[in-house]
């Protein structure tokens, strides 16, 4: 049964419109954790549903992503990671039925499925046992090369650069939290700066995030 749970809402403030993300996280006694997110982005008319599981060592196991835009189906896909690659079974409006298998050098360390809670979980791949404050994370997998995650969903693989900034106490509508702050640098599109991500607790719950595209912050939160 459950070891613990988290539920909450994250507000989106973007240049051309708002949005929100509802999420829940469940952690099993064996350390496996599953995130369920419903993301609504008003500026691009996007609705995204994501379920994603990581094991006790924060390694991606599997994920399901479904995207609709402007009230129409865009695509859906199931992803599975193992020690040598990522596989994807998808159906998208643009490409039809797609089966993928991408071999990687070792286990995928991050799956960017594009909820901002999934961005927060990327920070768990930073190895604090190493002295470097900037680390290259690879292999890094994603479900869309676009920063808003509006294409596909299909599998892709790249690398990620991440900085650990330090500890910071952050106040948002959901309360005041002791957080750890990271910078995640974009690798797929040219941008004017990194994502600044503040997470709290052992399960890396997103408290606050800023990016070149907007800001995102926790407005409701319960745990147990």
Is this model's pTM higher than 0.75 or not? yes
DSSP run (H or E) holding 66: strand 60-69
Range of the domain at 148: 2-223
CATH classification at residue 101 = 2.50.20
Residue 199 tokens read as 């997470």
pLDDT tens-digit profile of 15-64? 888 899 999 999 999 999 999 999 999 989 999 999 999 999 999 999 99
pLDDT tens-digit profile of 154-208? 999 998 899 999 999 999 999 999 999 999 987 655 556 789 999 999 999 999 9
Q: Compute the half-sphere exposure of residue 125: CA atoms within 13 Å on the CB side of its CA.
A: 29
Cα(180)–Cα(199) distance, integer angstroms: 5
Q: How far is CA 147 from CA 4, 75, 119, 162, in A?
A: 31, 17, 11, 16
Total domains in the fold of the chain = 1
Cα(221)–Cα(203) distance, integer angstroms: 13
């Amino acid at each position: 049964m459950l070891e613990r749970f988290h539920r909450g809402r994250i507000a989106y403030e973007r240049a051309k419109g708002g949005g929100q993300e509802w999420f829940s996280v469940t952690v099993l006694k064996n350390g496996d954790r599953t995130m369920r997110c419903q993301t609504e982005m008003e500026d691009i008319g996007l609705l995204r549903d994501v379920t994603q599981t990581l094991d006790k060592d924060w390694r991606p196991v599997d994920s399901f992503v479904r995207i609709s835009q402007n009230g129409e189906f865009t695509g859906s896909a199931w992803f599975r990671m193992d020690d040598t690659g990522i596989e994807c079974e998808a159906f998208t409006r643009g490409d039809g039925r797609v089966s993928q298998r991408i071999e990687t050098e070792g286990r995928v360390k991050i799956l960017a499925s594009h909820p901002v809670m999934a961005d927060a979980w990327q920070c768990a791949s930073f190895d604090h046992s190493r002295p470097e404050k900037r680390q290259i994370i690879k292999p890094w997998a994603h479900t869309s090369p676009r920063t808003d995650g509006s294409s596909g969903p299909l599998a892709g693989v790249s690398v990620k650069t991440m900085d650990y900034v330090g500890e910071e106490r952050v106040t948002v509508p959901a309360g005041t939290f002791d957080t750890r702050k990271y910078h995640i640098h974009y690798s797929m599109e040219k941008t004017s700066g990194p994502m600044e991500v503040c997470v709290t607790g052992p399960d890396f719950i997103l408290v606050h995030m800023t990016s070149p595209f907007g800001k995102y912050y926790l407005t409701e939160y319960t745990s147990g």
